[in-house]
Chains A and B, each alone.
Chain A
């Protein structure tokens, strides 16, 4: 079945450091790919998405590129802020489930220190 693997955390960075959170997936066909974020004490929010190969999703300075050849969707940000501290979830919806069911990774906790 469909699955998502993302790097384990926690990831601790200093403010203004470069961020990469790795995510790879297994799915048949061409899934849609997502990054969700959960800030402390809040619900999950959609951060960005990409629906076809080579698409780049971007939002709030975060970017991720849909790489079909490496089945990856790594999350990057050039300069993190303390306010980016949160748990980040990579996710996909694939044709197996008619694109109706989203499969999530286990989440990566990011802590940004001043």
Chain B
């Protein structure tokens, strides 16, 4: 597609429920990234994909967080047993591999755990 698409744009969930966040990157972009932006905080790296594999998942906060990417395209970030501290904006970005290529970000999913 023309840009990075994320869905849903907003999600309110009850504590303890599971949520799935979706990212559809720009067609042809082989690298895909997930970041988290909490209120008043910077961007926290979560995980990145190169194709369907995840060379770096060091930023996932706990084993409640997981992500997958299929067909070198769409990615899903899953948060199990959500907690209030999971409330944040989850950002997805994609890029072409190589030094100096910036990211193209999606508009994010605002997750609120109540």
For A43, A45, A101, A106, the residue with the greatest tally of chain B CB atoms inside 10 Å of its CB is A43
Judged by DSSP, the binding face of B is: strand
Number of A residues near B (Cβ < 8 Å) is: 23
Verify B48–A34 contact, CB threshold 8 A.
Answer: no
Number of B residues near A (Cβ < 8 Å) is: 24
Bound CA–CA A89/B41 (angstroms): 11
Verify A101–B45 contact, CB threshold 8 A.
Answer: yes
Verify A106–B99 contact, CB threshold 8 A.
Answer: no
Which chain B residues border A101 with CB–CB below 8 Å? 33, 45, 48, 56
Which chain A residues border B25 with CB–CB below 8 Å? none
Bound CA–CA A49/B103 (angstroms): 11
Is there a chain A Cβ closer than 8 Å to B55's Cβ?
Answer: yes
Q: B33-68 interface mask toward A, CB cutoff 8 Å, 1 = contact, 0 = none?
A: 101000001110100101000011000000000000
Bound CA–CA A42/B33 (angstroms): 18
A9 to chain B, nearest CB (A): 11
Which chain A residues border B55 with CB–CB below 8 Å? 98, 100
Is there a chain A Cβ closer than 8 Å to B97's Cβ?
Answer: yes
Residue of A nearest to B4 (CB): A43
Given known contacts A101-B45, A104-B42, A106-B42, A42 and B99 CB-to-CB distance under 8 angstroms: no
Bound CA–CA A44/B95 (angstroms): 14
The one of B41, B48, B104 in contact with A106, judged by C-beta atoms closer than 8 angstroms, is: B41
Verify B107–A43 contact, CB threshold 8 A.
Answer: yes
Verify B56–A97 contact, CB threshold 8 A.
Answer: yes
Is there a chain B Cβ closer than 8 Å to A46's Cβ?
Answer: yes
Verify B100–A103 contact, CB threshold 8 A.
Answer: no
Q: Tell me the A residues contacting B by CB distance below 8 Å.
A: 32, 34, 36, 42-46, 49, 51, 89, 93, 97-107
Q: What 6 A-B pairs come out closest when comparing CB atoms?
A: A106-B42, A51-B100, A46-B102, A104-B43, A99-B99, A43-B107
Q: Tell me the B residues contacting A by CB distance below 8 Å.
A: 31, 33, 35, 41-43, 45, 48, 50, 55-56, 91, 93, 97-100, 102-108
